[in-house]
A and B are shown apart, each in its own frame.
Chain A
């Protein structure tokens, strides 16, 4: 099959690799119909995340059709259409029993290494370095899904297109988690720093959970426009103002409840702190949150994010009304053989 592989720092390639096989009874093989590139894939491409090996198949956001199942997988049949969440979870350890699936104690064979580096291990993750297990990823034609009786979300409604449900694999629940951290009970003012796809999902989720006003802050007008048009939120281009806190005050928006920040917006958290009402928690969702916490970099009270199926399961309910996941953060769509171009574009 063809797959997108890491070929060294800042180098990604498409190569022919062997087809995946069932290795354990609880595995399934999925023929991938759609896959996405995550912002966090950039940290792999540029070598920020250690323990990548040349030839590693990338990608942790994918969905497709089950083509083979191991003997232990009884809840899936060949032909089922599934979205595969990025954390691999065994379903039977203490963490999994308490729905902390991203902390699964068994699914990462290299957990000891992660433990030494971060102080805590993570679950296995598809296509995300050897620290998270060395699992082949989903930017490929097929993928082996371990513990397939636990993770995959069956999509039975065939009228829903792939791009509507694909983001259940990672970024929709990530954004949703950011909103959920804000403990919205109705009527809040929520500020979202960063209007990339995750920020858009966070804003949409905050609205859905009952926030009265959602203010999305970024410096890219096209992203802010998408947020305004699709999500019916207010926006603020921070390059147009001298001071974001002052701008919020001037607009009588003082005291947003919570913040969400994503990825590479350096310094967003310290700036955000100046805008918050006293005692309001700010939270960072996304893959940089944990490493900031590990560095003791706590400008704001943060909660360690346990991103995982727990959020996915709840977010699952969002599919039928197609609100949070319908609008268009998906800006490009390309078949696998052109992946390096797409990676370059990202």
Chain B
């Protein structure tokens, strides 16, 4: 089965470089003096101001890379930024003659390589921009197909949620007498690209995150007749509430 899993233009290296920009930029903007010391520049005078400006540049580039579906120009702007950084660092090296400036230069060169690689990779992309990510969430339920189909038909709330996303549902017999596979598949294209995706994931509001719980619960319901409750998760597992799980102690009040 040749299921195309990756359908979007942006790959994980671009994502990494985007988050890298955000991280470095945040450090430069909030702590310019420390960063100046690290690269061997003086921490007074104009240097911290330049550092902060470069940080703003990184933040802008990072946001662009993460939010645009095919951020070719934003990646090339990172290459330009690397050249700018290198020339500033060279000037610093000539002026202050510190070993740590050489170390900083080596680091910038280290990140210039993937920047150029990824910019060229994205430059070769042609055709319509593809921003959506194909998401497949499945569960194997150890029951005959008819039983799983009936349970799916009865799960009206879950079905409504899945339909609202325009997802397709595949019910198929699993190989080797392993019951039935229930697969939900959809294209996921949140507003604000990867930043939007990160926000939705953290808040548990996207369908993929919710399906992780919903499909497991459906399996529990069909196979065992109940939602599994532990003392830590007395209402069953919910990813959004995961960090808020209580200690493994009996509850004071019955929850049913």
Contacts and interface: CB of A to CB of B under 8 A. Distances in A.
Interface stretch (A30-38, A107-115, A196-204, A207-215): A107-115
Contacts of B250: 17-21, 136, 144
Given A21-B250, A94-B179, A130 B224 contact: no
B219 A113 contact: no
User: Which of B224, B233, B254 has the most chain A CB atoms inside 10 A of its CB?
Assistant: B224
Given A93-B142, A94-B140, A97-B142, A106 B225 contact: no
Interface in A61-106: 72, 90-94, 97, 105-106
In the complex, which range does the number of interface residues on chain B fall in? 35 or more
A24 B245 contact: no
B249 A109 contact: no
Given A55-B247, A106-B219, A26 B226 contact: yes
B248 A57 contact: yes
B249 A23 contact: no
B134 interface: no
Contacts of A133: 228, 230, 232-233
A3 B249 contact: yes
Given A18-B250, A92-B142, A109 B178 contact: no
B44 interface: no
A112 B230 contact: no
A110 B179 contact: no
A90 B223 contact: yes
Contacts of B77: none
Contact of B249 (A93, A94, A136): A136
Contact of A21 (B232, B237, B245, B251): B251
A282 interface: no
Interface in B197-256: 212-213, 216, 219-220, 223-234, 236-237, 239, 242, 245-252, 254-256
Contacts of A97: 142
A17 B254 CA distance: 14
A26 B224 contact: yes
A76 B127 CA distance: 66
A56 B220 contact: no
Interface string B137-159: 00010100000000000000000
A112 B142 contact: no
A44 B46 CA distance: 53
A91 B229 CA distance: 16
A109 B229 contact: yes
A307 to B, nearest CB: 20
For the complex, would chain B's binding face be called helix, strand, loop or mixed by DSSP majority? Answer: loop
B248 A53 contact: yes
Contacts, number: 126
A105 to B, nearest CB: 7
Contacts of A109: 228-230, 232-233, 236-237
Nearest to A92: B223
B224 A112 contact: no
A105 B219 CA distance: 9
Contacts of B245: 53, 110, 130, 134
B240 to A, nearest CB: 12
Contacts of A173: none
A127 interface: yes
A112 B233 contact: no
A146 interface: yes
A113 B140 contact: no
A127 B254 contact: no
A55 B231 CA distance: 11
Interface in A241-266: none
B224 A147 contact: yes
A55 B224 contact: no
Interface string A1-40: 0010100000000000111110111100000000000000
Contacts of B229: 23-24, 109, 146
Interface of A: 3, 5, 17-21, 23-26, 53-57, 72, 90-94, 97, 105-113, 124, 127, 130, 133-137, 144, 146-147
Given A105-B223, A106-B223, 13 more contacts: A3-B249, A21-B250, A24-B228, A55-B248, A92-B142, A92-B223, A93-B142, A94-B179, A106-B224, A110-B237, A111-B237, A135-B248, A146-B229
30 contacts: A17-B250, A20-B250, A23-B254, A23-B255, A23-B256, A25-B225, A26-B224, A26-B225, A54-B247, A57-B231, A57-B248, A93-B224, A109-B229, A109-B237, A110-B232, A110-B242, A110-B245, A111-B237, A113-B242, A133-B228, A133-B232, A134-B232, A134-B233, A134-B246, A136-B248, A136-B249, A136-B250, A137-B248, A146-B229, A147-B224
Interface of B: 140, 142, 178-179, 212-213, 216, 219-220, 223-234, 236-237, 239, 242, 245-252, 254-256
Nearest 9 CB-CB pairs, A to B?
A134-B232, A55-B247, A109-B237, A20-B250, A56-B248, A94-B142, A136-B231, A53-B247, A133-B230
